Amino acid sequence: MGFMSWIVVGAIAGFLANQIVGSREGLPRTLVLGVVGGLVGGFVATSVLKIGSVNGINVESGVIATLGAVAILLPRAFRDGFARPSPWSDVIRQLR
């Protein structure tokens, strides 16, 4: 996959991962997150699970890269707390 393809897939995957986890990263960190997520997701998908690969701009590559980026963001989100509060957080707070 070409360098520009990695940037495009990385940008999309990083953006989607930020939206899923609720993280607030800037553009450079989002790009890096997506590219590294593609590497992590591609390694896990091909080496461990023996499915798919990140080999171009397609849906499969985007999904694998996004899942890899989410896997990178989740430990920090659990440690620091999620940036976007749950819709149920007000209800839970009132019940206390």
Give residue-wise pLDDT tens across range 48-95: 887 866 667 788 888 888 888 888 888 877 777 666 555 555 665 676
For residue 36, is pLDDT > 70? yes
Within a 10 A sphere around the Cβ of 9, how many other Cβ atoms? 24
Q: Is the dihedral of CA 6, 9, 15, 16 positive or negative?
A: negative
Residue 54's pLDDT is what?
A: 62
pLDDT of residue 66: 87
Least confident span in 22-26, 36-40, 48-52, 90-94: 90-94
Burial category of 56 from C-beta neighbours within 10 Å (exposed 0-12, middle 13-18, buried 19 and up): exposed
Question: pLDDT exceeding 70 applies to what percent of the chain?
Answer: 76
Percent of residues, the chain, with pLDDT higher than 90 = 0
Q: 4 pLDDT exceeds 80?
A: no
Parent domain of 82: 3-95
Q: How many structural domains does the chain have? A: 1
- Which token pair is 64? 């694998």
Query: pLDDT value at position 91?
Result: 64
